[in-house]
Amino acid sequence: MNAPLADGYHPLLPGKLATLVTYVEMTSPPQRPEAAAPAGYDLAVVESWTVADFKRLYVEIGFEWLWTSRLLLSDDQLLERLHKPGTVTFTPLKDERRMGVLEMDYADPENPEVSFFGLVPEAIGGGVGKWLMDQAIRMAWSRPETKRLWLHTCHFDSPQALPFYLRMGFKPYARAVEVFDDARLLNKLDVGAGPHVPVIRDARLP
């Protein structure tokens, strides 16, 4: 792990972005009734992805928030990540349309991770997110090996995301700063994505 940042401002190289990451965990299953599936929704396992299908859904989910991590992978790297041993992926379906993604990573059986969680904009609200995360939590804790369930979120996500995870029973335990390429400058994402984060083509400090 890199050394912690000192207090103060830290310049970024041109073409780079930075975000504050918050890690949250759950060390015991919450005691509450199971959340009901919203009307018309089913949960289906994704047996296999194509690059095009995943990227299309990924961009639809994360366009407003400038999700880029998996767009920065090569196609081969992306397929390897999507089909990584120990990974199980689900999608909420409505009228046979994929309305989001829930990816569970069991590579570390005692510490499973919700490695991807997101909904298309029209699925937000109405209890879909609560139901989907409740399913993730129940699946993780149904495994006898599980000692801790965790995930991470960042400022390049909906402001509702972190409070939602806390309401679902997760607790924050660490922070980090992540630096990465601006995918818009690499033509991997439309320049209109993430309008709250302006594109800077030639970074200069005062």
What CATH number is associated with residue 49?
Answer: 3.40.630.30
Are 138 and 34 spatial neighbours (Cβ–Cβ below 8 Å)? yes
User: How many domains does the chain fold into?
Assistant: 1
- Establish if 50 belongs to a structural domain: yes
- Establish if 27 belongs to a structural domain: no
DSSP assignment of 80-130 equals HHHT-TTEEEEEEEETTEE-EEEEEE-SSTTS-EEEEEEE-GGGSSTTHHH
- Establish if 8 belongs to a structural domain: no
- Establish if 119 belongs to a structural domain: yes
- Establish if 23 belongs to a structural domain: no
What is residue 147's predicted lDDT score, i.e. its pLDDT? 98
pTM of this structure: 0.94
What is residue 1's predicted lDDT score, i.e. its pLDDT? 62
Range of 100's domain? 38-181
Query: Which residues, given as ranges, of the chain have pLDDT below 50?
Result: none
Q: Which structure tokens are listed for 58?
A: 């990924």
What is residue 150's predicted lDDT score, i.e. its pLDDT? 98
- Establish if 45 belongs to a structural domain: yes
- Establish if 1 belongs to a structural domain: no
Are 102 and 135 spatial neighbours (Cβ–Cβ below 8 Å)? yes
**Which helix or strand (DSSP H or E) is residue 25 part of?**
strand 16-26
- Establish if 4 belongs to a structural domain: no
d(CA 126, CA 63): 21
Rg of the chain taking only CA atoms, in angstroms: 18
